[in-house]
């Protein structure tokens, strides 16, 4: 069911500044950049050795990422767990009483989030990459 930790999501105020910091400080390499205009945020997936981090920055002050930073500051946003058999895993979590939200199926991945409430306060992304996304 769960294969591995795919990445940790880090909320940042300034994506360019964060990229520069991780590149200079930790030797990070940029793997992928995306913008999600409909959800008003942009991301950069970076690699540091075998570790992957997804840097998330809001595109608008009212975006979920911007509000997260306003309420909690920059830092850990979510943990992403890679699975195979996405639908089966999500159904199992729902049957356990976890609140599943934001299910999506894109050309690159299937994903959903487990609400922090009832999940030890941890926003957890469940992701099944397609075609080598983020590998």
Q: CATH fold of 2-129, please?
A: 2,3-Dihydroxybiphenyl 1,2-Dioxygenase; domain 1 (3.10.180)
The three-class DSSP label of residue 5 is: strand
What pLDDT is stored for residue 1 in this prediction? Answer: 84
- What number of residues does the chain have? 135
* Rounded distance between C-alpha atoms, residue 112 and residue 53, angstroms: 18
Specify burial of residue 39 (Cβ count, 10 A radius: 0-12, 13-18, 19+): middle
Name the residue ranges covered by the structural domains of the chain: 2-129
Distance of CA 40 to the CA centre of its chain: 14
Q: What is the pTM of this model?
A: 0.90
What pLDDT is stored for residue 132 in this prediction? Answer: 67
What pLDDT is stored for residue 131 in this prediction? Answer: 79
Residue 100, number of CB atoms within 10 A of its CB: 15
Mean pLDDT for back-to-back runs of 10 residues, the chain (135 residues): 95 98 98 94 97 97 96 97 96 96 92 95 96 65
Could you tell me which residues are beta bridge partners of residue 105? 110
């Amino acid at each position: 069911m769960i294969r591995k930790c795919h990445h940790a999501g880090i909320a940042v105020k300034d994506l360019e500044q964060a990229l520069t910091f991780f590149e200079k400080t930790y030797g990070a390499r940029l793997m992928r950049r995306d913008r999600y205009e409909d959800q008003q945020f942009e991301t950069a997936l970076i690699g540091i050795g075998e570790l992957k981090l997804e840097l998330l920055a809001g595109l608008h002050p009212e975006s979920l990422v911007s509000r997260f930073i306003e309420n909690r500051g920059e830092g850990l946003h979510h943990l992403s767990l890679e699975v195979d058999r996405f639908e089966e895993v999500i159904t199992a979590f729902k049957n356990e009483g976890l609140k599943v939200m934001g299910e999506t199926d894109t050309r690159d991945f299937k994903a959903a989030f487990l609400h922090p409430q009832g999940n030890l306060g941890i926003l957890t992304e469940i992701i099944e990459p397609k075609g080598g996304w983020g590998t």
